[in-house]
Amino acid sequence: MTTAQAHPNIALVKYWGKQERVGNLPATPNLSITLAGLTTTTHITDAAKDAFVLNDAPADDPKLNRWLETLRGSFDIPPLEIHSSNDFPTSAGLASSASGFAALITAINAFCELGLDQAMCSQWARRGSASAARSIYGGFVALVPPQWWAVPMAKKDHWALEVVVAVTSTEAKDVGSGEGMERSRLTSAFYNAWLRDAAADFTAASDAISSKDFAALSAVAELSCLKMHSVMLTSQPTLSYWTPASIACMDRVRSLRALGHDVFFTVDAGPQVKAVCLSASADAVVSALSDVPGVIKIIRSPLGDGARVIE
């Protein structure tokens, strides 16, 4: 048996939309931070036929099946029993597919002795879920052309950011990210503007991370999030991932900033709000978001490491 672990990541410059060619390639450069406070653990063993168990329940995941078929087109891989579990809500906007595919390729690479380096693991993770390419690495990670495998930008101790996740619902989302992105590409009048601005946002965020300029990172990361949600909301049918509690949390983060705290928000394809802050403000952020009506749980996380084999 081989066991691997990986953490979700959250994008500060978002990926929302794919290129129109094979390989599951994002349309725009994007970057993320890896979260130590949430973990996927994946065990692999030999089996008579493939079996997938997710959070202790047998599961049939067409995306996983297609990915395994593609992987088997390149490698000789026997039938496998895969047990994957998350210590956080699954398919609820907390990037469980990112940590899931990153842990899975890391475990299969070790168990089947595929000999992949991290860049190749990242490329295979991306084919499962593009954000998974980034969870191969810890700290600050970019997913950029021309290869579209993830590239580590800075280690986690470059800048001790903390993330406070305000969970407002543990329901699985109605519309998955891949389907939502395609809907946005085809129907949102703002999609072309989103594509046009992405490279500049990516450069501004990279520079802010290099120089540890929190105000600059806050500005570009919140704007990237709000632009992505504008594209989502103007898709037809609309993709509306926020709850009233999500909006209240975003307002609370703005209020904290007005009081002098170093904090900004980001929200993905789900109703959870992630408040990214400097350590000196983390207690105040936890306390303020805990008080927001509709927040059912707070998860506090430092930055984390990349995917790895643990046994």
- Contact footprint for ligand 2P0 (CB under 6 A): 11, 14-16, 24, 30, 97, 129-131, 177-178, 268-269
Q: Is 285 exposed, middle or buried, given 0-12, 13-18 or 19+ CB atoms closer than 10 A?
A: buried
Tell me how far, at minimum, the Cβ of 28 lies from ligand 2P0, in Å: 9
* 49's tokens: 């036929």
Tell me how far, at minimum, the Cβ of 172 lies from ligand 2P0, in Å: 13
Q: Which residues share a beta bridge with 167?
A: 297
Of 78 and 196, which has the nearer Cβ to ligand 2P0?
A: 196
Of 133 and 295, which has the nearer Cβ to ligand 2P0?
A: 133
Tell me how far, at minimum, the Cβ of 275 lies from ligand 2P0, in Å: 16
- Provide the pairing of β-strand 57-58 with 80-86: unpaired
CB atoms within 10 A of CB 279: 11
**Contact, 198 vs 26, CB < 8 A?**
no
Of 232 and 288, which has the nearer Cβ to ligand 2P0?
A: 232
Distances (CA, A) of 148 to 22, 63, 81, 108: 12, 20, 29, 21
Q: What is the C-alpha to C-alpha distance for residues 302 and 233, in angstroms, rounded to an integer? A: 31
Of 122 and 281, which has the nearer Cβ to ligand 2P0?
A: 122
Tell me how far, at minimum, the Cβ of 169 lies from ligand 2P0, in Å: 16
Of 232 and 292, which has the nearer Cβ to ligand 2P0?
A: 232
Q: For the chain, how far is it from start to end, CA to CA, in angstroms?
A: 8
Tell me how far, at minimum, the Cβ of 260 lies from ligand 2P0, in Å: 29
Tell me how far, at minimum, the Cβ of 104 lies from ligand 2P0, in Å: 13
Of 168 and 281, which has the nearer Cβ to ligand 2P0?
A: 168
CA dihedral of 135, 12, 205, 213, whole degrees rounded to 10? -100
Where do the H-state alpha helices sit in 52-190? 62-74, 96-111, 118-128, 132-135, 177-187
Of 249 and 286, which has the nearer Cβ to ligand 2P0?
A: 249
**What order do you get walking across the sheet with 2-6 strand by strand?**
57-58, 51-54, 80-86, 40-46, 2-6, 308-309
Tell me how far, at minimum, the Cβ of 112 lies from ligand 2P0, in Å: 23
